[in-house]
Structure 1
């Protein structure tokens, strides 16, 4: 029997490989709510790194990178320097 066109005959699980357990369990957490959570965590701890956001929000690395890129685009944090460190440019959470 041939596989249907809407299924992948080779499901190696790589799509979920970079998601955390919380992401797989709670996919309803949207990017906007994660951005607000990330801003609160960054302001509260004074740390702005991808790994910090990943650990604090219990999300996968790729999602943490996307959040950090979005925070950089909106001017909340600086681009990473030569050592990967970022500065917090806004000390408050402003509505999007």
Structure 2
């Protein structure tokens, strides 16, 4: 359902509360439960989701499929490489936004 909302200039404009369908997301997390939860949530938004359980695996996938993703969501604490190191590689080699997640479990 679309509603009208006021812009800062006071004009009405149609408002849609939808996600950009088809966004290609790479999710990286060593916790299989979190990986599955994120995958399900993102697929409900009509995103194309690829999951990796290790940072090195994710880096390999990113290098193999250079233009295959629009965004990366990565855990920070992983056993093979921390999320900040992955972020460093992505920043140096690719032009992709990265969202880092951190849990205190």
Structure 1 and Structure 2 fold alike (TM over 0.5): no
TM-score by length of 2: 0.27
Please identify which structure carries the higher strand content.
2
TM-score by length of 1: 0.28
Please identify which structure carries the higher helix content.
1
